Chains A and B, each alone.
Chain A
Amino acid sequence: MAPHHAHITVLPLDLLIYIIDRVPEPADRKSIRLVSRAFHRAECLQRRDLNVIRREALGMLIRCYGAIESLDLSACAGLDDACLSTALGGGAAPGLRKVNLSRASGVRWSGLAAMVRGCPRIESVDLSHCVGVGDREVAVLAMLAGLKELRLDKCLGVSDVGLAKVAVGCPGLEKLRIKWCLEISDLGIKLLANKCQNLKFLDISYLLVTNKSLHSISTLGRLEVLKMVGCYYITDDGLNYLKNEKNCNTLLSVDVSRCHNVSAFGLVSIIEGHKSLRKLKASDCYVDLPLNCLSKLGMLTNGFHTLKVDGSEVSEPRLKIIGANCKGLTKIGLGKCKGVTDENISELVSNCADLKTIDLTCCHDVTDDSLIAIANSCKKLESLLLESCSLITDEGLVYIGTCCPNLQEVDLTDCDLDDSALESLSRCSELMKLKLGLCPSITDDGLDYIAKCEKLQELDLYRCTGIGDDGLAALAYGCKKIRKLNLCYCTRISDQGMKYVSCLPELKDLELRGLTQVTSLGIVAIAFGCKNLTELDLKRCSAVDDLGFLGLARYAINLRQINISYCNISEQVLIRLLWNLRCLQDVKLVHLTHVRKEGFMLALRSCLDKLKKLKLPTILKDAISPALIQILQDKGCRIRWVDKPIPFYMKDSPPSSPDP
């Protein structure tokens, strides 16, 4: 080690930086950084982005990596104002451009104010899902004169006043998401459109705004993307306002999904008004697509590539017209559409050879003939969603497997396929995401085939009761890249299978609901093996006892979400678990029959400052002191109370929360 070390230190800093630039993988960078101080120094200077998981480290890391431009604090447990202001308030990261504070529910205006003081060059802020954020927080952000991108999804406290602050303070704003900010009204949107003429991206989904807002929005001359999902008060007239000379050539993408008061006439005015449109999403609008509306699609330029009309009526000859008019289509969404038949599909795909994504979710009439037509026409296919298309068989999938080498995502949930179908799919070497839920006919042999897809990252085997430990062995051997694995209710799986799963080094998200054969040994193996595990679901794993949870507390220190409802965990171990898991943010604790209410209170106190989400049974609502609940909520934790009866098989266990 010593000679290598000496050798590296000889290199000048800029060369070291040059080397580090060539290392893309975070894990490899970590290795390099651990090898030598010189590399560590070089990385401190070179590194531009930082993702902090624990708040204790935040201050130190910011001081270390002063050159960062992008900071992700969305997973930082227990982040609060004091922490944020000590870390960023002193100007330790003056070059910071982008901050992600999504779900950082403990952060309020004072922390943000310190951040704004310390990093005045911030251009992008993400505060999405910080439900406690209101006008005051947004007003602080409005002091960033150079702000270009702001995400405020589900910041429930933000009203027109906050929006006005941003509109006035950040005239250069280009991207704004205010989805679910239900307090915002037409007035705010009007002012926004008045002040922020550079807006390119605007998401007003689920706002209670009316056509007046669209009238204001139509004055935005540079708007490219407009999302208005679930805006119930918007009608065809409003979409007609958008037909404006000012933005007729700029608007590229419009999403009017779930706008129940929009009809085909509204879609026609969008299509007529914006020739350069590329994406049109109108899912669940209950639109009966008239033929003249579809033929209007031909007026659009060749750039039009995405059409999503889930839930619409697309019977003969609508898909044919779509195919004839939109030859450049790459994505089509027909989920739950009525009237989708094999003939329709083949007429559509015969014209659209460039299709990469086809969503046929719940198109129950689709058979192998469709798959054959798709396979013959769409050689570039990347994503095929066939959930609940129960008529398809392995014969169709053979064609898909052989003709579509680029396939990356397949959803076969509830298609009741068997192993031979997986054999066909195993030829798709690019496959990254595979959903096979509710296919009980799949056995370990099928997983053997899947194991050939080395790039697989997500695998869903929900209620595939046919699989056992051997299948998991094959998976663990072949698919080392798996990050997300769902094994819920695959009841044949035992500890041995868990040991195989623990060999998946990249695993981040593991769901093991209802695996009654898995004991503490299996869980400890997982905790020890999967160092990257951040989400774990152990609901109804009744064979796991304290030992397993102590193993988790000891080794699975990166866990952020855990579900241990209906588990046999004792009071002391629960406290230990919640205390030790330092990144823990989301806990579900329904019906822990061995834990008294005092135990719950102690456990909650032990993780008081890091929780963001908590699920508890309603029985505890009165037992837990209201002050404790108040503190939890003040620190940004959302508590969901679940009112479900205790299942009969748990009633034999010791009394749940006896009154003292």
Chain B
Amino acid sequence: MDLKKRGLSESSPLKASSSALMAPPESSSPSNLNLNPNPNISFTTTQFGPSNLCFETRTNQSFHVYQPNLGIQSLQSYHDIKKKDQQQVLDWDPRVMLNNLSFLEQKIHQVQEVVRSMIGREGSQFAAQQQLVTADLTSIIIQLISTAGTLLPSFKNSSLPNNNGSLIGSDIPSSDSTKASEYEELIKGLSSAGDEGDDLMKYVNACGGEGADSVLAEDDAVDGDNLPPGSYEVLQLEKEEILAPHTHFCLICGKGFKRDANLRMHMRGHGDEYKTPAALAKPSKEISSEPVPIKRYSCPFNGCKRNKEHKKFQPLKTILCVKNHYKRSHCDKSYTCSRCNRKKFSVIADLKTHEKHCGRDKWLCSCGTTFSRKDKLFGHVALFQGHTPALPPVDDTKVSVVLDQVQNNDLMNGGSIGFNFGSASDDVGLLDIKGDDDDRGFFSPMNFDSCNFGSLDDFSRPSFEVPESSFSILPGSYNYVNRNGS
């Protein structure tokens, strides 16, 4: 644990600016925000959000943080902690600490002088001095952190004996309920950080900018996809490996196993640390590997964007991603929805998701895609050339039903004129009045006979007599006149 040395020697920008957020004395100074001496690497404050929170929590809580933590930790990990802490204790030297502090004091005085001299000046010299101050402050902060880092585990160590009797965490201060969630947050962070027990050290470590082998790797949710090429290790599983129904995967080489026991046996090949009885025993919840390098996965399909040979290679994050990607993109869709019998999926989870909504999608596109919302359909139609919303199938039954009704009920009321309805499919033949004679009989005294018009028409008449099946059934066609000149 040459933490101190590391802290002193390293001055990576990451370390500098992130530690600036936690350093108690300097955090009030506005110049801390400009601590990044390397302008090529820019940091967004959001990147530091989570770590910032943790630090603050810790600095505010002092010991209380560790008590619940220890209480919840399993017995085994507690033992681990104890071992490590004893090593830490041996590491800590008051003389070295004193040295560091006096060095810091000198350094602060120097900066004070420079800043004092800057008052009342401006121009290029001012800028140069500002840079100087920035650099100095950076190194002060780094050193302070390292110093504090060596100190902190010893605090913890000294507090441990007091807690021996109450390992189960019964002494969580109940009055402190507002902080309970913060505790939980921290515990989560700590337990995910691994079994080191020395969680604070881990954080300091992370701030120390250890890069690939630091806890930062665990925290890749922050910005995992934008890792620069080369900063991670690329693994490529074989096709058979991907398609095998494995659920346990080696975090080092990516090989999959059906049973965890087999994986553990496999792990022995990766090094001696996996051969200990603890590693071979059934793992408890908190078990986690040593800090592992960032791993990304490549799809074995040549030409795929997810294949490492591709020019714009985009790695996959996890093995599950590889499996799903490979099945979705390069495999047959063998799972068919039992409800619609149309949609097919290669990943069974996708099928299950679909089946939840299947049948509820009433908005259908001409391409067969269904949507649960109209605006989604219209967005789709707007996007793709030639796609249109589909109409529901034709409902042909209505007309015939009505006609049947009429035939059954209405004939009774027909009076002297009988109605003969054509078949339901024949729209034109709807009405056929049979009582023609009767009709004429009514009006014969009035001398309005309507039969003598035909002779007026010269030209259209012959062509009209060409039988037109649709219209010939109309009884009135005998007095047809082509009067519509226009």
Which residues in chain A, 158-193, are within 8 Å of chain B measured between CB atoms? 160-161, 164-165, 168-169, 187-188, 190-191
**Residue on B nearest A30 in the bound complex, by CB:** B485
Q: Which residues of B contact A29 (CB under 8 A)?
A: 485
B391 to A: closest C-beta gap in Å: 6
Q: Which residues of A contact B471 (CB under 8 A)?
A: 55-56, 59, 83
State whether A164 touches B381 (Cβ < 8 A). Answer: yes
State whether A609 touches B431 (Cβ < 8 A). Answer: yes
A64: interface (CB < 8 Å): yes
State whether A580 touches B450 (Cβ < 8 A). Answer: yes
State whether B459 touches A40 (Cβ < 8 A). Answer: yes
A4 to B409 Cα, complex, angstroms: 61
Q: Which residues of B contact A165 (CB under 8 A)?
A: 388-389, 391
A634 to B403 Cα, complex, angstroms: 10
A554 to B460 Cα, complex, angstroms: 21
A579: interface (CB < 8 Å): yes
Interface mask (A122-137 → B, CB under 8 Å = 1, otherwise 0): 0000000000000110
B419: interface (CB < 8 Å): yes
Which residues in chain B, 438-486, are within 8 Å of chain A measured between CB atoms? 439, 442-443, 446, 448, 450, 458-460, 463-464, 466, 468-471, 474, 476-477, 480-486
State whether B389 touches A57 (Cβ < 8 A). Answer: no
Contact of A64 among B394, B448, B460 (CB under 8 A): B460
State whether A605 touches B419 (Cβ < 8 A). Answer: yes
Q: Which residues of B contact A606 (CB under 8 A)?
A: 433
A30 to B459 Cα, complex, angstroms: 11
State whether A80 touches B428 (Cβ < 8 A). Answer: yes
B271: interface (CB < 8 Å): no
Q: Which residues of B contact A30 (CB under 8 A)?
A: 485-486
A187 to B373 Cα, complex, angstroms: 12
A3 to B149 Cα, complex, angstroms: 127
Flag the segment in B132-140, B328-336, B410-418 that touches A.
B410-418
A69 to B: closest C-beta gap in Å: 15
Asked whether A602 and B374 contact (CB < 8 A) given A26-B485, A54-B484, A625-B410, the answer is no
State whether B389 touches A631 (Cβ < 8 A). Answer: no
Q: Which residues of A contact B381 (CB under 8 A)?
A: 164, 168, 191
A334: interface (CB < 8 Å): no
A53 to B486 Cα, complex, angstroms: 9
Interface mask (A42-76 → B, CB under 8 Å = 1, otherwise 0): 00000000111111110111011000000000000
State whether A190 touches B470 (Cβ < 8 A). Answer: no
State whether B484 touches A554 (Cβ < 8 A). Answer: no
Contact of B406 among A52, A61, A627 (CB under 8 A): A627
Q: Which residues of A contact B394 (CB under 8 A)?
A: 136
Interface mask (A531-558 → B, CB under 8 Å = 1, otherwise 0): 0000000000000000100110110011
State whether B430 touches A81 (Cβ < 8 A). Answer: no
Which residues in chain B, 354-407, are within 8 Å of chain A measured between CB atoms? 374-375, 378, 381-382, 386-389, 391, 394, 398-399, 402-403, 405-406
Residues of A participating in the B interface, judged by any CB pair closer than 8 Å: 26-27, 29-30, 33-34, 37, 40, 50-57, 59-61, 63-64, 80-83, 86, 135-136, 139, 142, 160-161, 164-165, 168-169, 187-188, 190-191, 194-195, 547, 550-551, 553-554, 557-558, 572, 576, 579-580, 582, 598, 601-602, 605-606, 608-609, 625, 627-628, 630-631, 634
> Can you report 21 residue pairs joining A to B where beta carbons are below 8 Å apart?
A27-B485, A29-B485, A53-B483, A57-B480, A60-B460, A60-B463, A60-B466, A80-B428, A81-B427, A82-B470, A160-B378, A168-B386, A187-B378, A188-B378, A190-B378, A550-B446, A550-B448, A576-B448, A582-B476, A627-B406, A631-B403
Q: A60-B460, A168-B381, A558-B483 are in contact. List 15 more A-B contacts (CB 8 A).
A: A30-B485, A56-B471, A57-B480, A59-B471, A60-B463, A86-B468, A160-B374, A160-B389, A161-B391, A165-B391, A550-B443, A602-B417, A605-B433, A627-B410, A634-B398
